[in-house]
C-alpha cells in the first residue's frame, strides 16, 4: 500500500479530528477538501450556478473568491460560515461533520495546499486594521483604561532556576501597567497593586525590546534568537491576543516600535538595517542601510511621521516613516545608544553608554549633511537647548522635561551627565521575573 492510500485511510477513520496538530500529513485541496465540497457545496457553488459568485469546484476558482486566508482562520470567511461563527451558515440547511470541519481547518492552517506537491500560501495580512484616526492621536483613548482584564494567563509561561535578566521595560502611557521583558515571556505588572497583570508568552526566543503603542492598547515586542531569527510581534493587551507579526530577519531584533497612528512598525538589530513595515499589509516597505553598527534603539515620534534609530557606535538617524527618507543625523554620542524618546514632534532625547543624555531639535539639524555633526544641541537644566553652530538657539522648553539633575548646572554646553551629583533614589518596589520559589506571582 502506498503512502497516499494510507493517508486517505487515516482521514477516513477520522484522525484528522486532531486538526492542525495532525501535521505529519499534508491536507490538500485535491485530496481532502474537494471531496467535502463535492458532497456539500458544489450543487450551489459550481461554474454554472455560482451562488454569491463563488465557485468551489476548482482550486483556482476558489482562490479568486477570497474566502480563505492561509494560516488565518479569523480571516477565512468560508471557515467562519461552516463553523456557524458567522452568518449565512453554509451549507444553508445543514452542518458539516466535525471531522469535515477539522479537515478544512487543517487545510487553512496548513497554508491552503493545492496538492501534495504545492507550497503553503500563508496570509501576511494582519487580523485587524490597526491604523488609527489621526485626530485621535495624543488624546486619551476612549473607553476603559487599557488594561488586560482576565484575558492573559497569570502563571509564568516559564519559570527559571534563578531570577533571570530583565531585557526590556516599558510603561503604559495611560494605565498603571509596566511591561518587563524576560526569558521567553513578557511580564505585565499592575503598578497600583504591584501584582502581576498578565503574562505574554514569547516561546521563540528573547524579547529585547518592548514598547506600548501611543494609546496604550498595544504592546510591541521585538526580539528573537541571536544569529538565527528576528521579528516584531504586536499584542492587543486588552484582548490578550497576538494580532500581528512582522519580520523574518536572520538575527534577533534589538529595538522595535509602532508608530502613534499604528500604520508602521520599525525595527532593527545586529544586521544594521532599519526595517519599516506597514501594519496594513504586514509587509516590509523600507529597508534602510545607514547605521554602521548594531541598531540598539528605535522610537517613533508622537505623530508617527518620524522614527529615530540609534546604534551601538553612538549614531542616531531620524527617518520619515513614509517615504522612508532620512530627515536628520544626530552625531555626538560616543557610546551605544541605550534609549530614545521624543519630547515633542521635533525634539528627541537620547541616552548613551557614553554617560550622557542629549536633546536634539530635528528641525534644526536639517538638511542632514550640512551641519548635522555640529548640531549636538545639548541640554542641562539651565542651558536648555542650544544649537550653537548652525542657526539660532532653539527656544527652551517652557517646563523642564526631566527632573532637575545637577545644581548648580555645569558651565559648558552641557549634557545630562550621569555624574556623582545626580541624586540617587531607592527603589520602592521590586518587580522581577518569576522566581524559583513556587510562590504564586500574585502574592508579591
Q: Which three cell numbers stand for residue 135?
A: 485626530
| Residues whose CB falls within 8 Å of the CB of residue 205, separated by 6 or more in sequence, listed in order | 184, 223, 224, 225, 228, 229, 252
User: Radius of gyration of the chain from Cα atoms?
Assistant: 26
Q: How far is the CB of 108 from ligand HEC (least distance, A)?
A: 12
Q: How far is the CB of 38 from ligand HEC (least distance, A)?
A: 10
How far apart (Å, rounded) are the C-alpha atoms in residues 220 and 307?
A: 15
Going by their DSSP bridges, the two strands 264-268 and 273-278 should be labelled as: antiparallel
How far apart (Å, rounded) are the C-alpha atoms in residues 369 and 364?
A: 12
What does the DSSP assignment read for 153-200?
Answer: B-S-S---SSPPPP-EEEE-SSSSEEEEEETTEEEEEETTT-SEEEEE
Q: How far is the CB of 42 from ligand HEC (least distance, A)?
A: 8
Choose between 101 and 255: whose C-beta lies nearer to ligand HEC. Answer: 101
How far apart (Å, rounded) are the C-alpha atoms in residues 266 and 438?
A: 38
How far apart (Å, rounded) are the C-alpha atoms in residues 330 and 371?
A: 10
Choose between 92 and 144: whose C-beta lies nearer to ligand HEC. Answer: 92
How far apart (Å, rounded) are the C-alpha atoms in residues 241 and 108?
A: 20
Choose between 10 and 44: whose C-beta lies nearer to ligand HEC. Answer: 44
CA dist list (Å): 257 to 118, 276, 340: 36, 10, 11
Q: Return the H-helix or E-strand segment holding 99.
A: helix 98-109
In the complex, the residues that contact ligand HEC under the rule CB under 6 A are 40-41, 43-45, 51-52, 54, 67, 77-78, 81-82, 88, 90-92, 96
Choose between 107 and 342: whose C-beta lies nearer to ligand HEC. Answer: 107
Choose between 121 and 331: whose C-beta lies nearer to ligand HEC. Answer: 121
Largest CA distance in the chain: 88
Choose between 37 and 189: whose C-beta lies nearer to ligand HEC. Answer: 37
Report helix, strand and coil shares of the chain as percent, to nearest 5. 15, 25, 55
Going by their DSSP bridges, the two strands 177-182 and 185-190 should be labelled as: antiparallel
What does the DSSP assignment read for 329-343?
Answer: EE----S-EEEEEES
Q: Which of 388, 440, 442 is nearest to 413 (CA)?
A: 388
Q: How far is the CB of 61 from ligand HEC (least distance, A)?
A: 12
Choose between 82 and 106: whose C-beta lies nearer to ligand HEC. Answer: 82
Indicate if the alpha-carbon torsion angle 343, 346, 352, 355 is positive or negative.
Answer: negative
What does the DSSP assignment read for 11-30?
Answer: HHTTGGGGGGG--SS---II
Q: How far is the CB of 17 from ligand HEC (least distance, A)?
A: 17
Choose between 109 and 337: whose C-beta lies nearer to ligand HEC. Answer: 109
Q: How far is the CB of 73 from ligand HEC (least distance, A)?
A: 13
Q: How far is the CB of 121 from ligand HEC (least distance, A)?
A: 17
Q: How far is the CB of 39 from ligand HEC (least distance, A)?
A: 9
Q: Which three cell numbers stand for residue 318?
A: 531620524
Choose between 96 and 200: whose C-beta lies nearer to ligand HEC. Answer: 96
Choose between 40 and 415: whose C-beta lies nearer to ligand HEC. Answer: 40
Choose between 65 and 400: whose C-beta lies nearer to ligand HEC. Answer: 65
Q: Which residues of 400-430 are buried (b: 16+ CB within 10 A; e: fewer)?
A: ebeeebbeeebeeebbbbeeeeeeeeeeeee
Amino acid at each position: 500500500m502506498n503512502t497516499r492510500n494510507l493517508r486517505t485511510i487515516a482521514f477516513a477513520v477520522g484522525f484528522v479530528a486532531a486538526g492542525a496538530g495532525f501535521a505529519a500529513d499534508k491536507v490538500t485541496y485535491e485530496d481532502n477538501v474537494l471531496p467535502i465540497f463535492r458532497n456539500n457545496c458544489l450543487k450551489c457553488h459550481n461554474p454554472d450556478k455560482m451562488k454569491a459568485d463563488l465557485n468551489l469546484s476548482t482550486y483556482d476558482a476558489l482562490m479568486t473568491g477570497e474566502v480563505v486566508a492561509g494560516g488565518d482562520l479569523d480571516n477565512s470567511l468560508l471557515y467562519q460560515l461552516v463553523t456557524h461563527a458567522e452568518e449565512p451558515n453554509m451549507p444553508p440547511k445543514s452542518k458539516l461533520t466535525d471531522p469535515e470541519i477539522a479537515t478544512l481547518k487543517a487545510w487553512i492552517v496548513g497554508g491552503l495546499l493545492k496538492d501534495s506537491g504545492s507550497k503553503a500560501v500563508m496570509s501576511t495580512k494582519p487580523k485587524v486594521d490597526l491604523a488609527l484616526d489621526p485626530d485621535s492621536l495624543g488624546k486619551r483613548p476612549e473607553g476603559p483604561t487599557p488594561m488586560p482584564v482576565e484575558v492573559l494567563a497569570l502563571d509564568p509561561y516559564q519559570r527559571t532556576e534563578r531570577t533571570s535578566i530583565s531585557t526590556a521595560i516599558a510603561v503604559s502611557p495611560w494605565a498603571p501597567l509596566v511591561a518587563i521583558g524576560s526569558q521567553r515571556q513578557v511580564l505585565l505588572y499592575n503598578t497600583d497593586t504591584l501584582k502581576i497583570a498578565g503574562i505574554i508568552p514569547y516561546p521563540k526566543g528573547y524579547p529585547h525590546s518592548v514598547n506600548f503603542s501611543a494609546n496604550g492598547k498595544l504592546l510591541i515586542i521585538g526580539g528573537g534568537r541571536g544569529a538565527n531569527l528576528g521579528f516584531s510581534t504586536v499584542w492587543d493587551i486588552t484582548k490578550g491576543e497576538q494580532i500581528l507579526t512582522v519580520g523574518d530577519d536572520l538575527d534577533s531584533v534589538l529595538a522595535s516600535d509602532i508608530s502613534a497612528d499604528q500604520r508602521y512598525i520599525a525595527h532593527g538589530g545586529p544586521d544594521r538595517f532599519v526595517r519599516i513595515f506597514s501594519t496594513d499589509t504586514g509587509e516590509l516597505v523600507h529597508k534602510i542601510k545607514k547605521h554602521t553598527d548594531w541598531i540598539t534603539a528605535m522610537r517613533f515620534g508622537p505623530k508617527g511621521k518620524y522614527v529615530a534609530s540609534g546604534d551601538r557606535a553612538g549614531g542616531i538617524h531620524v527617518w520619515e516613516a513614509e517615504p522612508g527618507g532620512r530627515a536628520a543625523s544626530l552625531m555626538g554620542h560616543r557610546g551605544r545608544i541605550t534609549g530614545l524618546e521624543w519630547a515633542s514632534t521635533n525634539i528627541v532625547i537620547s541616552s548613551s553608554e557614553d554617560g550622557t543624555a542629549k536633546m536634539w531639535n530635528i528641525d534644526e539639524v536639517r538638511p542632514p549633511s550640512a551641519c548635522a555633526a555640529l548640531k549636538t544641541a545639548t541640554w542641562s537644566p539651565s542651558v536648555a537647548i542650544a544649537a550653537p553652530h548652525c542657526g539660532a538657539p532653539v527656544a527652551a522648553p517652557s517646563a523642564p522635561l526631566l527632573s532637575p539633575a545637577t545644581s548648580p548646572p555645569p558651565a559648558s554646553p552641557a549634557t545630562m551627565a550621569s555624574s556623582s551629583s545626580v541624586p540617587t533614589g531607592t527603589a520602592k518596589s521590586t518587580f522581577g521575573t518569576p522566581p524559583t520559589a513556587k510562590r504564586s506571582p500574585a502574592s508579591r
